[in-house]
Amino acid sequence: MTTLSKEQQTEFEAAAFRRLVAHLRERTDVQNIDLMNLAGFCRNCLSNWYREAAEAEGVAVTKDESREIVYGMPYEDWKDLHQKEASPVQKAAFEVNNPHK
């Protein structure tokens, strides 16, 4: 395996994160509940992880700010434009896959 400097590792991880966020912004057809059911995380999880990382470094980022970073717009706007009501099947799968939520 190639040995990376800490700076390279951080740079590559940041690039992968930016690409994932861009991909999720393009795939507005994929609902958060689908992501949770299949992968155990969603856009909101990413925004929470971003906020937690910032706070760990002493940078205050609000929930709304971190969500806007991930969604590319205010969360309420994204929901109005793209979020659909979860089907009974999706809700049942969520309960099975995410009993702690």
Q: Give just the sign of the alpha carbon dihedral 70, 73, 75, 77.
A: negative
How high is the pLDDT of residue 90?
93
Q: Which domains does the chain have, with CATH numbers?
A: 30-96 (1.10.3340.10)
Q: What's the start-to-end Cα distance of the chain, in Å?
A: 38
| pTM of the predicted model over 0.85 | yes
How high is the pLDDT of residue 97?
82
Q: Enumerate residues 6+ apart whose C-beta is below 8 A from 14.
A: none
How high is the pLDDT of residue 1?
86
Q: What tens-digit pLDDT sequence spans the chain (101 residues)? A: 899 999 999 999 999 999 999 999 999 999 999 999 999 999 999 999 999 999 999 999 999 999 999 999 999 999 999 999 999 999 999 998 876 65
70 Cα distance to chain centroid: 6
